[in-house]
Structure 1
């Protein structure tokens, strides 16, 4: 069994794996709730996050 990279050592879900793999690859930007690269668009109340393609 692979060692968990979660802070609480809980079992990694597929979303957790995507998150940790992105960080390990050097991605420092935002990551959405599904573990995908994201970017912040808009300002103030119109601020939102969208996936990076």
Structure 2
């Protein structure tokens, strides 16, 4: 059985650049299709929370 590398990148505002997290993950060998990307809500304003 071989190990599988996955990645996770998260930004909470439109001003944040997702590439600053994705590029290092790619450099570490994380395949592009195996990175979970989350455009979450900021904890400060809670927009989108129920």
TM-score by length of 2: 0.32
Instruction: Name the structure, 1 or 2, with higher relative contact order (CA <8 Å, separation 6+).
Output: 2
